[in-house]
């Protein structure tokens, strides 16, 4: 087989094995979700080798979707880090075989301290499964590795089961995008959900004119403002907006009278405006809905205070 055929075979095998997980879901999953929802501490995840790597990812997903969680290396736990685990914490132990020595060594301590324990393994009759409160089966019948040695389907199954756990908890907690943003303030989503228009709008040298402003001065205001538009005002109330596109169209359709035109002849009335307290997601929706790149910003008294453009959103 060539490389494309091998890749398709791997994906097919892994997809089939993941699909088989549907049959392994039982009351243990629902009970595990319920105890985590009621947990007063944290969900601690531990596993060795590839299981540990997948455990770290599951842990990160849980922590970012409303379930406080951290990863604890089982060998380091056994050599002093067990003090990180408090009685109110729930511990999820991951081992495909269910017989990983470093993981099993944690069980006596967890039982003595009274921690609720969960297991993810591919063997429901394993030592790990028998000595934890709830067992989530990640059993696969084959690996994508042709030698049946490298963890492939088994690690994917572990990851998928972790995602199922995280999403179930997320939805039952009614976790929303603004909650997610609080845990990702430095990312694009956090920026859009947490920041307001006032944080990013342009306020200096705003392009303005009045309804009787001559077309020559309108063009000059657009050029100086560098926003591709000029706002037509009466006092500080917005009457309309003239864009560079409006100028081009007027030059084509009103060539003979172009230089006698005034701002009122060129402007589009009722331009899109938004409150300066609006979130960036709100202005993004306005831009997307109306296929525009700029929105005018007003304060609580509806006075013109700024311009926000697509590139200001950082998206």
> Where in the chain are the domains?
3-175, 194-313
Domain 194-313's class?
Answer: alpha beta
DSSP category for residue 274:
E
Tally the residues of the chain.
315
Q: Which residue has the higher pLDDT, 226 or 233?
A: 233
Distance CA 58, CA 136 (A): 14
| pLDDT above 80 (res 294) | yes
Task: Assign a CATH topology to domain 3-175.
Answer: Rossmann fold (3.40.50)
Strand (E) or helix (H) holding 3: helix 3-24
Model confidence at 280, pLDDT cuts 50, 70, 90, reads confident
Report residue 189's pLDDT band, with 50, 70 and 90 as the boundaries.
low
Is the pLDDT at 302 greater than 60, yes or no?
yes
Q: Cα separation of 217 and 214, whole Å? A: 5
Q: What is the pLDDT of residues 250-273, one digit of tens each?
A: 999 998 899 999 999 999 888 999
**Which residue from 239, 213, 227 is spatially nearest to 302, judged by alpha carbons?**
239
* pLDDT average, residue stretch 160-182: 81
- Beta bridge mates, 71: 45
- pLDDT (0 to 100) of residue 199: 86
Is the model's pLDDT at 87 over the cut of 80?
yes
Categorize the per-residue pLDDT at 282 as very low, low, confident or very high, splitting at 50, 70 and 90: confident
Q: Flag the least confident range among 126-130, 153-157, 191-195, 266-270.
A: 191-195
Is the separation of the CB atoms in 159 and 167 below 8 Å?
no
pLDDT tens, residue by residue, 47-67: 999 999 999 999 999 988 889
Q: Which residues of 302-315 are buried (b: 16+ CB within 10 A; e: fewer)?
A: eebbbbbbeebbee
41: left (phi over 0), alpha (psi -120 to 50) or beta: beta
One-character DSSP codes across 172-218: HTT--HHHHHHT-TTSHHHHHHH-BHHHH-B-TT--EEETT-BHHHH
Q: What is the pLDDT of residues 32-52, one digit of tens each?
A: 999 999 999 999 999 999 999
pTM of the model: 0.66
């Amino acid at each position: 087989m060539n490389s494309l055929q091998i890749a398709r075979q791997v994906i097919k095998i892994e997809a089939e094995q993941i699909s088989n997980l549907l049959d392994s879901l039982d009351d243990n999953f629902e009970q595990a979700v319920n105890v985590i929802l009621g947990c007063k501490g944290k969900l601690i995840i531990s596993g060795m080798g590839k299981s540990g790597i997948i455990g770290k990812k599951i842990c990160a997903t849980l922590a970012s979707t409303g379930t406080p969680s951290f990863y604890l290396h089982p060998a380091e736990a056994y050599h002093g880090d067990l003090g990180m685990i408090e009685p109110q914490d729930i511990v999820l132990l991951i081992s495909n075989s269910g017989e990983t020595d470093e993981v099993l060594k944690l069980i006596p301590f967890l039982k003595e301290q009274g921690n609720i324990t969960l297991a993810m393994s591919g063997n429901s009759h394993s030592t790990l499964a028998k000595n934890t409160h709830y067992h989530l089966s990640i059993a696969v019948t084959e690996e994508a590795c042709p030698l049946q040695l490298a963890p492939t389907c088994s690690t994917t199954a572990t990851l998928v089961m972790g995602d199922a756990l995280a999403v179930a908890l997320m939805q039952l907690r009614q976790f929303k995008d603004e909650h997610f943003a609080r845990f990702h303030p430095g990312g694009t989503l956090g920026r859009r959900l947490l920041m307001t228009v006032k944080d990013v709008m342009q306020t200096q040298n705003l392009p303005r004119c009045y309804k009787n402003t001559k077309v020559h001065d309108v063009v000059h205001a657009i050029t100086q403002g560098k926003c591709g538009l000029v706002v037509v005002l009466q006092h500080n109330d917005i009457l309309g907006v003239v864009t560079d596109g409006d100028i081009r169209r007027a030059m084509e359709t009103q060539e003979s009278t172009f230089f006698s035109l005034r701002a009122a002849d060129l402007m589009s009335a009722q331009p899109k405006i938004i409150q300066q307290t609006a979130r960036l997601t709100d202005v993004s929706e306005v831009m997307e809905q109306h296929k525009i790149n700029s929105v005018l910003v007003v304060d609580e008294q509806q006075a013109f205070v700024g311009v926000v453009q697509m590139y200001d959103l950082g998206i």
